[in-house]
Amino acid sequence: MAKLTKRSQDYSQWYIDIVTRAEMADYAPVKGCMVIRPWGYAIWERMVRALDDMFKATGHSNAYFPLLIPQSFLQKEAEHVEGFAPECAVVTHGGGKELEEPLVIRPTSETIIWAMYKKWIQSWRDLPLLLNQWANVVRWEMRTRLFLRTAEFLWQEGHTAHATAQEAVEEAERMLGVYRNFAEQWMAMPILAGRKSEGQKFPGAVTTYTIEALMQDGKALQAGTSHYLGQNFAKAFDVQFQNRDKQLEYVYATSWGVSTRLIGALVMVHSDDAGLVLPPRLAPLEVVIVPILKADADNAGIVTAAYRIAEPLDEKVRLRVDNRDNVSPGWKFNEWELKGVPIRLELGPKDLAENKVVLVRRDTGEKMPISQDEVVFKVPEILEEIQASLYKKAKERLEAGCHQAGSYDEFKKVLDEKGGFVFAPWCGSRECEARISDETKATIRLVPDGAEECPACMRCGKGPAKRVPFAVAY
């Protein structure tokens, strides 16, 4: 098997090598699109299941809205059309005829959903309306990268309607909390949380909340956003309800989403030069048992023992016995390492004679012989340990990747030499934000709650300023 590109050689190629060689995704015939292969899709299914449970536990139901949206719908909300029009794919023909009105392939579904909410919401009794949909969307991106930015991607989009602003703000914050828990507890990925600046918020939102993660190359990645939309979409689609005082009022809205981009984040946060490293909770397989088979020998005893060890464990973890006899044990070890299976159990003739197996941790490479009788409780314990240890390591990296800068010169120097999140004073103006990002490629990732007050902006010198994290982002 050819070696993977090392992170230190070419981080970007290392990432592509892992995604393609671990058979997570491949390039599609249409530029910018990807095919998600079974191993990548199985990780997505794990993510979907966990998130969907969390959405249902917070009172949401799933629904499905159409892929095609009348072009005029997108034009109803001014900021929204400005934000999305350049990257929309438009259908102009159907059934061999030019359409009377072109149809947009959804880049996001606020407009079609609010057109329907107009039919469904009349009274305060119809509220709150808490819907989510799992869907694909299309955004015609020029520069694409597997999972991280593709023209078509899979995601979920929550769209909720509320009777009061306060309730809608609470919903937007609650869903950011759900994303935060998912990132930390399932992805083992620590994050920074806060609000987007005016320049970075979602087109049509009053407030965008975000979680931001740090990749191993010092770049930031936006991992999930939740928007308080105020009455913007209700006004654009004329969705009013009769409140408890029998007055007509526009409905308050939120929307929130995460996408297959999370798989890209997962790859970049934990993986190493041998391949993918997966947190056990999201791994399609948590354990692979490899009986070490000898060519021209009677391997029946070893194979039987492997299945005997697997049987009680099978109820507790996702596992596979790799009894293929057309590839060598070494080849299998490499393959499962590349695919990031958290634990490998090796079983050779000597181990069998001693009633042992050798447990190998993917995250540390540590090998430990354990008694076959211990496997059934040891393995789940070690999986927990791996999950916790991956989070701890990533958390230490995030903390080490947060830097401070006072002056603009210092800011540029730290950004250039260390990367990561550079916390620096900013006056709050869009002009300074745009200049800093033009001059350094770093953007304001978020404004933390309770950001430190500073006397002067590093770019224009005006005050008061707030200390906010800048980073170069994916």
As measured in angstroms, the least distance from the Cβ of 462 to Zn ion is: 5
**Is the CB of 218 or the CB of 428 nearer to Zn ion?**
428
Taking each helix axis as running N to C, give the angle between helix 430-440 and helix 408-417, from 0 to 180 degrees, rounded to the nearest 10.
40
Residues 6 or more apart whose CB falls under 8 angstroms from that of 444 comprise 196, 197, 199, 200, 426, 433, 436, 437, 468, 469, 470
Q: How far apart are CA 321 and CA 228, in angstroms?
A: 48
- Interface stretch with Zn ion, choices 84-92, 274-282, 383-391, 421-429 (CB under 5 A): 421-429
How many helices (H) and strands (E) the chain has is answered by 14, 24
Q: How far apart are CA 39 and CA 191, in angstroms?
A: 25
What does the per-residue mask of binding to Zn ion show for 368-407, with x meaning CB under 5 A?
----------------------------------------
**Is the CB of 258 or the CB of 458 nearer to Zn ion?**
458
As measured in angstroms, the least distance from the Cβ of 438 to Zn ion is: 14
As measured in angstroms, the least distance from the Cβ of 409 to Zn ion is: 15
Q: How far apart are CA 32 and CA 18, in angstroms?
A: 18
As measured in angstroms, the least distance from the Cβ of 464 to Zn ion is: 11
**Is the CB of 263 or the CB of 457 nearer to Zn ion?**
457
**Which tokens is 238 given?**
């004329």
As measured in angstroms, the least distance from the Cβ of 463 to Zn ion is: 9
Q: How far apart are CA 323 and CA 465, in angstroms?
A: 63
As measured in angstroms, the least distance from the Cβ of 435 to Zn ion is: 8
- Interface stretch with Zn ion, choices 32-40, 103-111, 388-396, 429-437 (CB under 5 A): 429-437
b/e code 253-280 from CB counts within 10 Å (16+ = b): bbbbbbbbbbbbbbbbbbbbeebbbbbb
Q: Which candidate, 452, 371, 456, 444, places its Cα nearest to that of 196?
A: 444
Q: How far apart are CA 244 and CA 39, in angstroms?
A: 51
Quick one: CA torsion of 336, 340, 344, 348, rounded to 10 degrees?
20
What does the per-residue mask of binding to Zn ion show for 443-462, with x meaning CB under 5 A?
--------------x-xx--
Number of residues that bind Zn ion (CB under 5 A): 5
Q: Which candidate, 168, 202, 238, 240, places its Cα nearest to that of 79?
A: 202
Could you tell me if 30 and 151 are in contact, meaning their C-beta atoms sit under 8 angstroms apart?
Answer: yes
Q: How far apart are CA 401 and CA 218, in angstroms?
A: 7
As measured in angstroms, the least distance from the Cβ of 448 to Zn ion is: 18
As measured in angstroms, the least distance from the Cβ of 433 to Zn ion is: 8
**Is the CB of 343 or the CB of 457 nearer to Zn ion?**
457
**Is the CB of 38 or the CB of 461 nearer to Zn ion?**
461
**Is the CB of 238 or the CB of 453 nearer to Zn ion?**
453
The long-range contacts involving 376-379, CB below 8 angstroms and separated by at least 24 positions, are 376/312, 376/313, 376/316, 379/287, 379/313, 379/316, 379/317, 379/343, 379/345
**Which tokens is 12 given?**
């970007």
- Interface stretch with Zn ion, choices 185-193, 226-234, 278-286, 420-428 (CB under 5 A): 420-428
- Interface stretch with Zn ion, choices 74-82, 351-359, 360-368, 425-433 (CB under 5 A): 425-433
**Which tokens is 243 given?**
């409140």
**Is the CB of 330 or the CB of 406 nearer to Zn ion?**
406
**Is the CB of 46 or the CB of 412 nearer to Zn ion?**
412
**Is the CB of 363 or the CB of 433 nearer to Zn ion?**
433
**Is the CB of 164 or the CB of 404 nearer to Zn ion?**
404
**Is the CB of 79 or the CB of 431 nearer to Zn ion?**
431
Q: How far apart are CA 427 and CA 324, in angstroms?
A: 63
As measured in angstroms, the least distance from the Cβ of 472 to Zn ion is: 20
The whole-angstrom distance between residue 243's C-alpha and the CA centroid of its chain comes to 38
Could you tell me if 213 and 220 are in contact, meaning their C-beta atoms sit under 8 angstroms apart?
Answer: yes
As measured in angstroms, the least distance from the Cβ of 443 to Zn ion is: 15
As measured in angstroms, the least distance from the Cβ of 427 to Zn ion is: 3
- Interface stretch with Zn ion, choices 126-134, 152-160, 293-301, 430-438 (CB under 5 A): 430-438
Residue 427 in contact with Zn ion, rule: CB under 5 A: yes
Q: How far apart are CA 250 and CA 20, in angstroms?
A: 48
As measured in angstroms, the least distance from the Cβ of 460 to Zn ion is: 3
**Is the CB of 50 or the CB of 460 nearer to Zn ion?**
460
Residues 6 or more apart whose CB falls under 8 angstroms from that of 158 comprise 55, 60, 130, 131, 132, 175, 254, 255, 256, 257
Binding residues for Zn ion, rule: CB under 5 A, are 427, 432, 457, 459-460
